[in-house]
Structure 1
Amino acid sequence: MSDTVDIAAIKGRLAEKLDEAGISMRAASINSGFGQGYVQNLLSSDTEPVITKLAVVCEKNGISFSYVLLGLEVSPQTRRLLDLIQKNPEKLNSLLILLGEPLPPVDA
């Protein structure tokens, strides 16, 4: 993960969002179902966060995972669209055709 993303920035964005929400690191850890020191350890250590655990911390504390991971806010409408595409990946090309951007054909 460290080859493509800035780990310090991810940790900084998580800390920022927890602070904005008034959620302590201890509470965030407990809300996530991890040990009470998990988030504090995650933010203070030099190790990379486990992406699946980071997603749980965000989800269970009402924090945008896309913002923490990439620094991007995703609107509720965009999130709904992404969820629908994830549930129905075969319909992605139909949507792209509707938008005038079909997927290129796959070489057989």
Structure 2
Amino acid sequence: MTATYDTIAMRERLQALLEEHGVSMRVASIKGESTPGYLHSVIKGGAEPTVQKLAQICSANGFSLAYVLFGFEVSPETERLMALMEKEPQARDGILSLLDKK
């Protein structure tokens, strides 16, 4: 299963975060070790960002990658659960089975 996201909404969320934090696209790109015009090409030019670069930019600027991509935050508990389930496929399948029954 491949996760998908709404690229238009992703660009809008990223633009809003930049404005909220008072950071320009150029500065955020540079902080994320990308070319100065990277975010401009993504937000205004419609370029498709790589998840790796987007993650690096989000991390460097204090933005949540999950929020930028999907519009919701991931709590530390959920992150821990996801990491544990990734390590133990049988446990993941059991948990999913339990949740699907509800």
TM-score category, normalised to shorter length: 0.7 to 0.9
TM-score of the pair, normalised by structure 1: 0.71
* Deviation (angstroms), 1:5: 2.6
Deviations, residues 48-76 of structure 1 (Å, cap 9, x unaligned): 22222111111111101001101111123
Report the number of matched residues: 96
Moved more, 41-50 or 23-32: 41-50
Gap runs ≥5 in structure 1: 103-108
Q: CA RMSD in A?
A: 2.6
Residues 48/75 of structure 1: CA separation in 2 closer, same or farther (3 Å cut): same
Tell me which structure has the larger Cα radius of gyration.
Answer: 1
TM-score of the pair, normalised by structure 2: 0.74
Gap runs ≥5 in structure 2: none
Residues 21/79 of structure 1: CA separation in 2 closer, same or farther (3 Å cut): farther
How far apart in 2 are the matches of 1:92 and 1:20?
A: 42
1 or 2 for the larger relative contact order (CA 8 Å, sep ≥6)? 2
Aligned counterpart, 2:88? 90
Over the matched positions of the two proteins, sequence identity in percent amounts to: 41
